[in-house]
A and B are shown apart, each in its own frame.
Chain A
Amino acid sequence: MLGGMTAVTLNQFVPMPLAILLAVIVTMIVGAVIEIVFIRWLYKPSVLRMVIITIGISILIREIALHIWGESVKALPYFTGSSISSINLGGVYVSSQVLWVVGIGALAVAALTVFFNLTMLGRQMRACAANRDAARLCGIDTGNMVTLSFMLSAAIGAIGGCVVCPITYVQFDSGTPLAIKGFTVAILGGLGNSTAAVGAGMILGILESFSIWVLPTAYKEAISIAILLAILFVKPSGIFGSAEAARLKEF
């Protein structure tokens, strides 16, 4: 939400690619500031405490956004073409923006996979997630890793917001449902597994879209949460995650 809103605002002054880049950077900085101000200095915070703090922060951001941008619905223009143009893919007409979303989503997953598996920084981050004390013993600055992961996820969220907002539009309160959906997808795919999360996200999206065949559209939001609850009750490790791997995680 923050990324999309910032990009829309900046787009009035600078060309769109630059506006998106700046919006991502701004959101990254906000993510880092939040981590440094609210999370970093806590001594061994429980996960629940952090969840409540981040819920509080999301409320604050939402209210600040309401006071800055008002209640109006905003959107970036389509990256290529317009809202009525479409591209013919073997007989199926698809809006060009949808292709942008899919393409950038795939790119982000590929980049993340490379980052976590092949670069030193990514490996350090995974070590920190698996066992913070052991990672510190190996000489990894765990505090910085947490800040970095906040920035990384804020940046990805901002990219997502920028890419999607020409289709879905963006306004001050569009963040909270997305956060819950994001959590659902992360649980569904098994935490810490970005490739499985994409699959889970697709399953969730398709289920949600098809649910309007049988249920009123207004219930669409409730569907994804009902799926979240069902997964939590039945298989908390996620449909693609293994139960053993989930048990090894500390929370």
Chain B
Amino acid sequence: MARRYLPVAAFAGLIVAIQLGTLSIGAEYHLTQLTMTAYYSLVVVGLCMLIGYAGQISLGHAGFFAIGGYVTAFLTTWDLKTNHGAVVSLLERSGALVSRHDVYGGNLLTVHPWLACAAAILLTVAVAFLVGGPVLKLKGHYLAMATLGIGIIVYRIVLGTDFLGASDGISEVPGFPLPGGLLISGDASSRISNYYLAWGLVILGMALLLNLIQSRVGRALSAVHGAEDAAGAMGIPTSRYKLNVFVLSAVFAGLAGVFLTHYNGGIGPSEAGVMKSVRYVAIVAIGGMANLWGSLSMSLVLNYLSLRGYFGTYDDTVFGAILILIMLFAPDGLLRRHLVSDLKRMVSRNPVEEDAP
């Protein structure tokens, strides 16, 4: 039991160390990108669960991210003051609506962020259930193309819908209030608290997934991954497990979308783009497919470098190239679980190809 949580504690230590490190060199502004990295990492670990442990690929996770982000952005910026219906006044009396001032000093009456978040997650779950059922029956390139298609449909819808801001996206999204006076927002004064909130969420998610993998469900999933027919013959409801993991990883993506939107104060259609989905898959691939820690650490490094702009105009190229190289040379992922033993075997059998994986 204690051994299982040792890596989690170590990771939490690393997060604290990074924060103290930036503090000591006076570069706290890095924490902004690191916070955004945390939310993207949440998508990545969810996707890692789906790809690595359930063996199903999804090239449409940016779509779920965008559903979460857009729903909360729309609901928390949509002024309800102009339409006085019975529903609106009922919601207002029950405390579901909040009144606040926009940047021009005008009064806005919008849905409370918590309610918006709940709506976003509900919609993500609903879409994932509706789509996941038929999609997960597909295999191989059909599955890849179908999930890619879902991502593109979401992208096209947010790009073509006026009340979602079309190509401008939605901006001026308020912060997300938490108990204890904390607020998820991009405000520079709350940078450190936001950094810990974001990574705390990631660690919570990781703990949840690690527990799931160690459980009966996790063992059933790895059986599905290994040999689906055999797992079915052993009495594992394969399609239900696959669907549940798909929905779970979609919820991770949706939740990340919600919080990143509140943190950034807005969301644009590029968050739903194909390149984002490809990027998540590339990070999971380089992280070793069925290796949550590998995916998390790669996500931390690559997302941070990308958000700081170290890749310049070659941003997409880097992730495309990573995807090709991993699929060519190490289709099981780079930091895979049995890497050390694989390496040993390869060296003993074929000493020339020492650096092959």
Q: How many A-B residue pairs have CB under 8 A?
A: 112
B-contacting residues, A94-150, CB 8 Å: none
Task: Assess whether A59 is interfacial by the CB under 8 Å rule.
Answer: yes
Who on chain B is nearest to A226 by CB?
B153
Task: Assess whether A206 is interfacial by the CB under 8 Å rule.
Answer: no
Query: Can you list the 8 inter-chain pairs with the closest CB atoms, starting with the nearest?
Result: A218-B160, A59-B320, A56-B324, A222-B156, A56-B323, A225-B149, A233-B134, A51-B141
Task: Assess whether B78 is interfacial by the CB under 8 Å rule.
Answer: no
Residues of chain B contacted by A51 (CB below 8 angstroms):
140-141, 144-145
Task: Assess whether A38 is interfacial by the CB under 8 Å rule.
Answer: yes
Q: What is the interface residue range for chain A against chain B?
A: 35 or more
A100 to chain B, nearest CB (A): 30
Instruction: Scan B195-207; emit 1 where CB is below 8 A from any A CB, else 0.
Output: 0000000000000
CA distance A28 to B159 in the complex (A): 34
6 A-B pairs besides A59-B275, A63-B320 with CB distance below 8 A are A42-B328, A55-B144, A180-B145, A219-B156, A222-B157, A229-B150
Residues of chain B contacted by A183 (CB below 8 angstroms):
145
Task: Assess whether A67 is interfacial by the CB under 8 Å rule.
Answer: yes
Residues of chain A contacted by B135 (CB below 8 angstroms):
229, 233
Residue of B137, B146, B320 with most chain A CB atoms under a 10 A cut-off: B320
Q: A59–B317 contact, CB under 8 A?
A: yes
Residue of A183, A216, A218 with most chain B CB atoms under a 10 A cut-off: A218
Q: B156–A53 contact, CB under 8 A?
A: no
Task: Assess whether A201 is interfacial by the CB under 8 Å rule.
Answer: no
Residues of chain B contacted by A251 (CB below 8 angstroms):
140-141
Who on chain A is nearest to B275 by CB?
A59
A-B contact pairs, 7 of them (CB 8 A): A45-B331, A46-B140, A46-B331, A48-B143, A49-B331, A60-B317, A222-B160
A71 to chain B, nearest CB (A): 12
Who on chain A is nearest to B147 by CB?
A229
CA distance A53 to B141 in the complex (A): 11
Q: B328–A38 contact, CB under 8 A?
A: yes
A17 to chain B, nearest CB (A): 34
B-contacting residues, A23-39, CB 8 Å: 38
Q: Which residues of A contact B (CB under 8 A)?
A: 38, 42, 45-53, 55-57, 59-60, 62-64, 67, 176, 180, 183, 216-219, 221-222, 225-226, 228-229, 232-233, 236, 251
Task: Given A51-B144, A219-B157, A228-B149, answer yes or no on A60-B138 (Cβ-Cβ < 8 Å).
Answer: no
Residues of chain B contacted by A38 (CB below 8 angstroms):
324, 328
Task: Given A222-B157, A232-B138, A233-B134, answer yes or no on A56-B149 (Cβ-Cβ < 8 Å).
Answer: no
- The total of chain B residues at the interface (CB under 8 A) is 40
Task: Assess whether B173 is interfacial by the CB under 8 Å rule.
Answer: no
Q: A60–B140 contact, CB under 8 A?
A: no
Residues of chain B contacted by A236 (CB below 8 angstroms):
138, 142
CA distance A125 to B316 in the complex (A): 35
Residues of chain A contacted by B274 (CB below 8 angstroms):
176
Instruction: Scan B279-321; emit 1 where CB is below 8 A from any A CB, else 0.
Output: 0010000000000000000000000000000000110110111
A91 to chain B, nearest CB (A): 35
Task: Given A59-B275, A232-B138, answer yes or no on A180-B148 (Cβ-Cβ < 8 Å).
Answer: yes
Residue of A47, A48, A62, A219 with most chain B CB atoms under a 10 A cut-off: A48
Task: Given A56-B323, A59-B316, answer yes or no on A222-B144 (Cβ-Cβ < 8 Å).
Answer: no
Residues of chain A contacted by B327 (CB below 8 angstroms):
49, 52-53, 56
A211 to chain B, nearest CB (A): 12
Residues of chain A contacted by B160 (CB below 8 angstroms):
216-219, 222
CA distance A228 to B321 in the complex (A): 28
Task: Assess whether B75 is interfacial by the CB under 8 Å rule.
Answer: no
CA distance A105 to B12 in the complex (A): 60
Task: Given A59-B275, A59-B316, A219-B156, answer yes or no on A53-B140 (Cβ-Cβ < 8 Å).
Answer: no
Task: Assess whether B278 is interfacial by the CB under 8 Å rule.
Answer: yes
Q: Please tell me which one of the listed residues A48, A55, A229 contacts residue B140 in the complex, with CB atoms under 8 A apart.
A: A48
Who on chain B is nearest to A58 by CB?
B320
A114 to chain B, nearest CB (A): 29
Q: A229–B141 contact, CB under 8 A?
A: no
Task: Given A219-B160, A222-B152, answer yes or no on A57-B145 (Cβ-Cβ < 8 Å).
Answer: no
Task: Assess whether B248 is interfacial by the CB under 8 Å rule.
Answer: no
CA distance A180 to B149 in the complex (A): 8
Q: Please tell me which one of the listed residues A42, A50, A55 contacts residue B323 in the complex, with CB atoms under 8 A apart.
A: A55
Residue of B141, B150, B274, B275 with most chain A CB atoms under a 10 A cut-off: B141
CA distance A218 to B162 in the complex (A): 10
A76 to chain B, nearest CB (A): 27
